[in-house]
Amino acid sequence: MPKKLTLNVDETIIEKAKTYAHQTGRSLSSLVENYLRDLVAREQPNSLIDEKISRLSGKIKLPEDFNEAEALRSFLEEKHLK
């Protein structure tokens, strides 16, 4: 059941997010909800994550200097702010 939430966010981010929401035919509320849903889903217990990673092991070759945190940050910025 939806519940009202008040947030304090930088005005520039709000305007960019509203524009993105309009361009993609979604509401700002749905963008925030989906972001939070994704964030919470990533907080799974390590055993489940380790199992998923072990199944993928050897399937993808990443550069030695690959930065997972930076890749995730870039992906989320691209997904939610542009």
The answer to whether residue 80 is domain-embedded is: no
- Which residue segment(s) compose the domain that 17 sits in? 9-57
The answer to whether residue 64 is domain-embedded is: no
The answer to whether residue 73 is domain-embedded is: no
Q: How many domains does the chain have?
A: 1
pTM of the entire structure?
A: 0.50
Pick the more confident residue, 40 or 24: 24
Give the C-alpha distances (Å, rounded to integers) separating 20 from 26, 42, 70, 73, 81.
Answer: 8, 24, 22, 18, 7
When pLDDT is cut at 50, 70 and 90, the band that residue 12 belongs to is very high
> CA dihedral defined by 22, 30, 81, 35, rounded to 10 degrees?
-170
**CA-CA distance, 8 to 20, in Å (whole number)?**
19
Pick the more confident residue, 44 or 76: 76
Report whether 27 contacts 21 (CB < 8 A). Answer: yes
Long-range contacts, stretch 46-55, CB < 8 angstroms, 24+ apart: none
Dump pLDDT digits (tens) for 48-69. 667 767 777 666 777 888 888 8
The answer to whether residue 30 is domain-embedded is: yes
